[in-house]
Amino acid sequence: MAVIQPVLKPAPVVKAGDLTREFVEGYSTALGDPAWMVARRLEALRVFRDTPAPNRHDELWRRVDLSTFRLDVVLSGLTPANTVLDVKRSRLSAEWSRQGVIFTSLETAMKKHQRLLDEWLMTQCVRLNDAYYAALHGVFMRYGTVLYVPAGVALDKPLRTTIRMAPDQLAGFYHTLVVLEEGAKATLIEDFASPTGSHQALYDGVVEIMLAKGAELDYVNIQDWGRNVYNFSTERAKVGEAATLHWVMGGVGSKFTKSLIEADLVGPRGTALLSGVYFADTRQQLHYDTQQNHVAEACKSDLLYKAALRDEARTVWRGNIRVFPGAQKTDAYQANRNLQLSSHSRADSIPGLEIEADDVRCTHGSTVGRIEDEPVFYLESRGVPPNEARRLIVEGFFAPVIERIPLEETRNRLLEEIGKKIG
């Protein structure tokens, strides 16, 4: 049977001359950046201008249709005034502050914690040359969350940030930097959302997570951008010896999303548990590329991403487990489950293995299917209306992942958004 592939147009290319040194210097000066930050932005500009724009000839981008996105228009109108984000953070207790915990904005960290940013900000985890949009983020990053937990300090309550874009906003560049020293423990929940505006908007975010020996982090990232937002993110965690990362992702918003999510197990006996739920409707496109990199021996990674889609929406998950030479005793698993609620929707699920060691256990699986008639009939026969029956089935499908979110308020909000999508 012949398979007809959609014709995908390449992403618009921003010409090198569209962003100049003078423009970036003026942008940085208007923000009141210190001299070292101006220099870092200019270095990011150099990398961005030297980096080819992604196009459909790249394996990671060949299923992407950005023919209607005008990045050149967005960038030509950028000023500090139209990159404003409304950011709120939970309060850090005085006891934790006395123990050396830092939980603050990126703007404050630039002034008060330069040494921390010099060491960690896009230097050891996500780097400027990692991706086209990572370099662009380096040019314009303005807001962000910085969490630093010293060795041996355990935070027994979750920290939370909420990030909002206004409907008339042109762009947002948010940076999350988390550093946990040896034996530290923390939970961080980030909630991104905006109403739908009348013009195209760009969100370009970066997440950097560094866990030292024996550290433990629960990180939750929920995205509900307006349907005018083109959302690009580069997210990476480095998991040290005997450290544990539990990373939960939720995606329900945006017009288009392309997220590069990576866990690097760089110390022996490290663990990375990656969970995700995403729901696309109308003509949304949600693309997630995940990478589980086993660099050290005796590490474990386990990924479970679940998607639902309806109308003419499209989702793409492309996952890969890579086992480096010498990473013996690796235990890695990845699974992607897709629930189609419309015959016009499309889900692409592409697992992959790249193994360069001989004493490992690596498995993967993916499924795409529809709601079966039997459970719907069962619920309807007991008086449950058809839409309510579908909602219960979809919530049950997502439940194993949503239950892993540590804050009830966040769980309920995500369930509410999923309910709206079901109709």
CA pair distance 7, 51, nearest whole angstrom: 25
Six token digits for residue 308: 């639902």
Instruction: State the residue for tokens 């589980």.
Output: 292
The pLDDT-based confidence of 16 (bands split at 50, 70, 90) is very low
Nearest to 287 by CA among 311, 264, 309, 265: 309
Asked if residue 114 lies in contact with residue 152, where contact means CB atoms within 8 angstroms, the answer is no
Six token digits for residue 309: 């889609």
Q: Which residues contact 118 (CB under 8 A, 6 or more apart)?
A: 36
Q: Give the orientation angle of helix 35-50 with respect to helix 21-31, to 10 degrees.
A: 150
In this predicted structure, the answer to whether residue 291 has a pLDDT above a threshold of 90 is: yes
In this predicted structure, the answer to whether residue 11 has a pLDDT above a threshold of 50 is: no
- Looking at residue 212, its pLDDT comes to 98
pLDDT in tens, 77-101: 888 988 989 999 999 999 999 999 9
Nearest to 308 by CA among 382, 391, 377, 241: 391
Q: Please give the residue that has the higher pLDDT: either 19 or 367.
A: 367
| pLDDT > 70: percent of the chain | 96
- Looking at residue 14, its pLDDT comes to 53
Six token digits for residue 243: 């450290």
Three-state secondary-structure class, residue 267: coil
- Looking at residue 341, its pLDDT comes to 92
Task: Indicate the burial class of 416 (C-beta count within 10 angstroms; 0-12, 13-18, 19 or more).
Answer: exposed
Buried b (16+ CB within 10 A) or exposed e, 330-363: bebbbbbbbbbbeeebbbebebebebebeebebe
Task: Indicate the burial class of 88 (C-beta count within 10 angstroms; 0-12, 13-18, 19 or more).
Answer: exposed
Asked if residue 181 lies in contact with residue 151, where contact means CB atoms within 8 angstroms, the answer is yes
Six token digits for residue 373: 């008639």
In this predicted structure, the answer to whether residue 126 has a pLDDT above a threshold of 60 is: yes
pLDDT in tens, 316-332: 999 999 999 999 999 99
Q: For all residues of the chain together, what is the average pLDDT?
A: 92
- Looking at residue 128, its pLDDT comes to 94
Pairing of strands 143-149, 102-105: antiparallel
- Looking at residue 1, its pLDDT comes to 33
Asked if residue 163 lies in contact with residue 133, where contact means CB atoms within 8 angstroms, the answer is no
- Looking at residue 121, its pLDDT comes to 96
Task: Indicate the burial class of 329 (C-beta count within 10 angstroms; 0-12, 13-18, 19 or more).
Answer: middle
- Looking at residue 78, its pLDDT comes to 86
Nearest to 23 by CA among 44, 6, 3: 44
pLDDT in tens, 191-215: 999 999 999 999 999 999 999 999 9
Instruction: State the residue for tokens 């206004």.
Output: 166
Six token digits for residue 31: 């923000």
Asked if residue 63 lies in contact with residue 8, where contact means CB atoms within 8 angstroms, the answer is yes
- Looking at residue 391, its pLDDT comes to 85
Greatest CA span in the chain, whole angstroms?
69
pLDDT in tens, 23-72: 999 999 999 999 999 999 999 999 999 999 998 888 889 999 888 999 98
Nearest to 228 by CA among 278, 166, 140, 141: 166
